Amino acid sequence: MQKEDENLILEEEFDRSVSPTSSPSQSKENELLRISNLSIVYESKHANLLALDNIDLEIGQNRLIAVVGESGCGKSTLALSIIGLLAMPPAKIMNGKIEYKSINLTALKEKDRRKFRGTEIAMIFQEPLTSLNPVYKVGDQIAEAIAVREERKNDRSMDLESEVMQRTYKVNAPDMPSRLPRFKPGGLTKLLRDEVLQVLKQVRIADAEQVIDRYPFELSGGMRQRVMIAMALAQKPALLIADEPTTALDVTTQAQVLRLMKELIDEVNTSILLITHDLAVASQVADRVIVMYAGDIVEDSDVYDLFREPLHPYSKGLLSCIPVGSKDKAKLKPIPGSVPDLSKPFVGCKYASRCPFAMEICSKRSPRLVEARPNHRVACFLYSGESR
Amino acid sequence: MFSILGGIEIVSLTETVEVRDEDILVASHLKKYYRIRRGFNPFDRSKPKFVRAVEDVSITVPKGKTVAILGESGCGKTTLARAITLLSPPTSGHIFFNGRVIFDGEGGKFRNVNYKELYRDLQMVFQDPDSSLDPRLKVKDIIAEPCKGLLDIEKEAIDAIVMESLKAVGLSQEHAYRLPTHLSGGQKQRVAIARAIAPQPRLVILDEPTSALDASVQAQILNLLLSLQTNYNLTYILITHNISVAEYLSDFLVVMYAGSVVEQGPTASVIANPRHPYTKTLIASAPIPNPLKRTLLTTEIIGEVPSVINPPSGCKFNPRCSYAEQICREKIPELREISPGQFAACHLAEKIP
């Protein structure tokens, strides 16, 4: 009994100290998220796969940062670890911290972690149809997001009889078992409905009045992704993680969605972390590009600098793989070989076996990410001054 | 409607078409409609509705060249490929392949086609290697499968062919005994290509051959396709939504929108000087790896692809077109020659910048 009480008190204190809204930002100005030394392993009976290998990264405000890499490079693991949706086990954080506004997220309990999800860090996924609930109308789903936001803002969490909840929902039962407010079909108040409409208009849905009462299956792929973005933005997050948001879409729709995301950064005051496999997409929208390879960040640079002169041999190789123009003009130069097996311990640079510039040192030690030029970090011995 | 350049004359039941010697495949006025089943309402007396997946499409494929069919999802490009291969025969139209009539319009009648002969010369690489390779067959059996049915040869000869095609696509002998689940995405696509080239076809239809692959693997596959084309003297029809892949691989480009061809011509001239507003939009929205040319963010794109059940009147692109005038809403534009070899279905093709 006593022990339990102690725990309770501890938890309460903990709650206060980690509440995202109450703690003032003590970190560097403009810094939103800092990841240091993060290593994540997927454990299984047969092998342990090192998905992220000592990642260092910080994200500022009102920026669009693209994380680019091929499948299996760890970009989705990175995204999921930031928002805290990694399934643990099999995933396990070996070392490192993820600090959001100076709060170490990795040390939090799931209950506290949840308070950051949505209202502070939100995420949109690749396939909007599987991320939307098929049995609720689009408007209800966005309304839920708004309700959660209001609830957290007033910090009278889960108090269903509160004024906020009365205002946002026609709540009928105070003894509801669910922690999140339930929906009555068409139970949106005028106030909430107006807000949903406003969010839908913000993502450039022209006939918002009709869309609000539709089900996800009635919408086209582009519309669904807009609804997803609307849902995420309704919670006014400071950081929006977009994991391959346009991969399932057509090129013209992709252009529309990317343009929308770019415009929303300043409009709603958020940062976007765009996870993509497409270097060309990154070049078109990002302010900063992070190139990942086999669980490492190999290059991290301002977008203009990276495409003017990529430094890491992998970035160079990746760029020469994108077809530009016809076969008669320039033949593609594919990268030879394939990605190393991440379940085996590795010595040296992971790209060395495919690298045309590989030196002796590359197979002995792994390069650190160093600032080769202003705002341009690269993990390669060619630039670290350690080669000789 | 086909240019007469001293080729052979092929007579079908309803149409006489001159096919040039250098053309391996000519499809004319192909249509593919899918009927929408009515519901259970016994009082429903409405007319049957159709999905007009492919509406009056004509294409010509010269020997040894690559024709790319470019369009977004739902534009009918895969349906067109399946119609050409007779996997799902067209509703009407004519197809001439390799000096023969393989499909002869009117009401779905087609002549006695020798499928064995047809598929020896016409093969297809399907969209998703994951679902087009039998998960329970070893790689060598997957590749041998079409040879067994199509070629009348000994088992030993088939084995030799299998090994040769494996080598041609850059896989080694050890891969022959693996199951598809033990291969990476790029290797699976190589197996699918090996299976298609094993019977030594003359025309290969590539349905989105690289859309499921990473950039570096895509580059490998594209170069493989190019080297196979020269080594085996293949003709390709490339179905793709990716304009840079189409530009890289193809000699001729056919741009489709909502079931119809909106523009066609030599790839270089279509991309350098698109005459149809849709082609323009498509080119502008294709991301290029250059942050100094952010065409993606500067072009205004409105609306979405229309329904092919109730397409807009007149030009199907008119609700999204910034140049649209009265005539575009009233009259369906015909595909017409704008500059030598380049055709566009737009009333205002000469006027748009």
Mention every residue, 6+ apart, whose C-beta is less than 8 A from residue A131. A124, A125, A228
* pTM attached to this predicted model: 0.82
- Chain B residues in contact with A281 by the CB 8 A cut-off are 287, 296
Q: Which domain range does residue B303 map to?
A: 277-353
- Chain B residues in contact with A318 by the CB 8 A cut-off are 215-216
What DSSP character marks residue B288? -
CB contact under 8 A, B287 and A262: no
Torsion of CA A109, A110, A113, A114, to 10 degrees: -150
Q: Please name the member of B72, B242, B289 whose beta carbon is closest to the beta carbon of A307.
A: B289
- Chain B residues in contact with A71 by the CB 8 A cut-off are 185, 214
What DSSP character marks residue B320? G
Residue B318 domain-assigned?
yes
Q: Please, are residues B193 and B210 in contact by the beta-carbon 8 Å criterion?
A: no
pLDDT in the model for residue B285: 87
pLDDT in the model for residue B136: 92
Tell me the pLDDT of chain A averaged across its residues: 79
pLDDT band of residue A128 (cuts 50, 70, 90) is confident
The upper half-sphere exposure of residue A339, i.e. CA atoms within 13 Å in the direction of its Cβ, equals 22
* pLDDT, tens digit (0-9, with 9 covering 90-100), for B104-152: 876 555 567 788 888 999 999 988 888 889 999 999 999 999 988 888 8
* pLDDT, tens digit (0-9, with 9 covering 90-100), for A105-127: 888 777 777 878 888 889 988 88
Tell me the CA end-to-end span of chain B in Å, nearest whole number.
29
Cα–Cα distances (Å) from A228 to A127, A251, B120, in that order, read: 10, 18, 48
Query: Is the Cβ of A324 closer than 8 Å to some Cβ of chain B?
Result: yes
- Chain A residues in contact with B301 by the CB 8 A cut-off are 252, 255-256
Comparing CA positions, the residue from A99, A113, A150 lying closest to residue A14 is A113
pLDDT band of residue A385 (cuts 50, 70, 90) is low
Residue A264 CA to residue A272 CA, distance in Å, equals: 10
CB contact under 8 A, B245 and A323: yes
What DSSP character marks residue A136? S
How far apart are the CA of B315 and the nearest CA of chain A, in angstroms?
Answer: 19
* pLDDT, tens digit (0-9, with 9 covering 90-100), for B293-322: 888 888 778 887 887 888 888 899 998 888
Closest chain B residue to the Cα of A323, Cα to Cα: B244
Give the CATH fold of the A128-276 domain.
Rossmann fold (3.40.50)
Q: Please name the member of A256, A280, A318 whose beta carbon is closest to the beta carbon of B216.
A: A318
pLDDT in the model for residue B193: 94
Dihedral-angle region of residue A74 (phi above 0 means left; psi in -120 to 50 means alpha; beta otherwise): left
pLDDT for A9 beyond 60: no
Quote the percentage of chain A above a pLDDT of 70.
82
What DSSP character marks residue A188? B
Q: Chain A window 276-305: which residues touch B at a Cβ cutoff of 8 Å?
A: 277-281, 283-286, 303-304
Q: Domain boundaries in chain A?
A: 128-276, 291-319+330-384
* pLDDT, tens digit (0-9, with 9 covering 90-100), for A221-279: 888 888 988 888 888 888 999 998 888 788 888 888 888 888 888 888 889 999 999 89
No. of helices (H) and no. of strands (E), chain B:
12, 14
Query: Is the Cβ of A109 closer than 8 Å to some Cβ of chain B?
Result: no
Burial class (CB in 10 A: 0-12, 13-18, 19+), B196: buried
Comparing CA positions, the residue from A61, A103, A111 lying closest to residue A82 is A103
* pLDDT, tens digit (0-9, with 9 covering 90-100), for A61-119: 878 999 998 888 888 899 999 988 888 788 888 888 888 887 888 887 777 778 788 88
CB contact under 8 A, A250 and B73: yes
Cα–Cα distances (Å) from B317 to B258, B283, B302, in that order, read: 9, 16, 11
- Chain A residues in contact with B304 by the CB 8 A cut-off are 220, 222-223, 253
What residues of B are in the A interface, CB distance below 8 Å? Answer: 72-73, 184-185, 214-220, 222-223, 226, 241-245, 247-249, 267-268, 281-282, 284-292, 294-297, 299, 301, 304-305
Q: Please name the member of B73, B284, B289 whose beta carbon is closest to the beta carbon of A280.
A: B289
Q: How many domains does chain B have?
A: 2
Closest chain A residue to the Cα of B70, Cα to Cα: A251
Residue A213 CA to residue B145 CA, distance in Å, equals: 51
CB contact under 8 A, B222 and A332: yes
Closest chain B residue to the Cα of A333, Cα to Cα: B219
pLDDT in the model for residue A187: 66
Q: Please name the member of A70, A284, A323 whose beta carbon is closest to the beta carbon of B248.
A: A323
b/e for A123-154, b at 16 or more Cβ within 10 A?
bbbbebeebbeeebbbbbbbbbbbbbbbbbee
pLDDT band of residue A195 (cuts 50, 70, 90) is confident
User: What is the residue whose two structure tokens read 């997050």?
Assistant: A237
Residue B323 domain-assigned?
yes
Query: Is the Cβ of A207 closer than 8 Å to some Cβ of chain B?
Result: no
Residue B296 CA to residue B115 CA, distance in Å, equals: 46
Residue B349 domain-assigned?
yes
Residue B200 domain-assigned?
no
Residue A39 CA to residue A295 CA, distance in Å, equals: 9
Residue B237 domain-assigned?
no
pLDDT in the model for residue B264: 93
How far apart are the CA of B42 and the nearest CA of chain A, in angstroms?
Answer: 26
Average pLDDT value for residue range A18-46 = 69
Q: Please, are residues B130 and B188 in contact by the beta-carbon 8 Å criterion?
A: yes
The per-residue DSSP string of A66-118 comes to EEE--TTSSHHHHHHHHHT---TTTEEEEEEEEEETTEEGGGS-HHHHTTTBT
* pLDDT, tens digit (0-9, with 9 covering 90-100), for A313-365: 999 999 888 888 887 777 888 888 888 888 888 888 888 888 888 888 888 88
Residue B13 CA to residue B109 CA, distance in Å, equals: 10
pLDDT for A377 beyond 80: yes
CB contact under 8 A, B215 and A331: no
CB contact under 8 A, A323 and B291: no
pLDDT in the model for residue B310: 84
- Chain A residues in contact with B291 by the CB 8 A cut-off are 283-284, 286, 303-304, 307
pLDDT for A29 beyond 60: no
Chain mean position to CA A301: 18
How large is the C-alpha radius of gyration of chain A? 23
pLDDT for A206 beyond 90: no
Residue B27 domain-assigned?
yes
CB contact under 8 A, B290 and A283: yes
How far apart are the CA of B35 and the nearest CA of chain A, in angstroms?
Answer: 21
Provide the angle, in degrees to the nearest 10, between the axes of the packed helices B139-150 and B155-168. Answer: 120
| Residue from B172, B296, B304 to probe the interface with A (highest A Cβ count within 10 Å) | B296
Residue B306 domain-assigned?
yes
Q: Please name the member of B216, B289, B295 whose beta carbon is closest to the beta carbon of A70.
A: B216
Burial class (CB in 10 A: 0-12, 13-18, 19+), A245: buried
- The CA-based angle A20-A26-A32, given to 5 degrees, is 60
Residue B105 CA to residue B90 CA, distance in Å, equals: 8
What DSSP character marks residue A24? P
Query: Is the Cβ of A338 closer than 8 Å to some Cβ of chain B?
Result: yes
**In this predicted complex, what is the ipTM?**
0.82
CB contact under 8 A, A338 and B214: no
What DSSP character marks residue B276? S
pLDDT in the model for residue B70: 93
What DSSP character marks residue A120? T
Closest chain B residue to the Cα of A302, Cα to Cα: B291
Residue B309 domain-assigned?
yes
| Backbone CA torsion sign across B266, B272, B276, B280 | positive
Regions of chain B short of the pLDDT cut 50: 1-7
CB contact under 8 A, B296 and A252: no
**Helix/strand/coil for A364:** coil
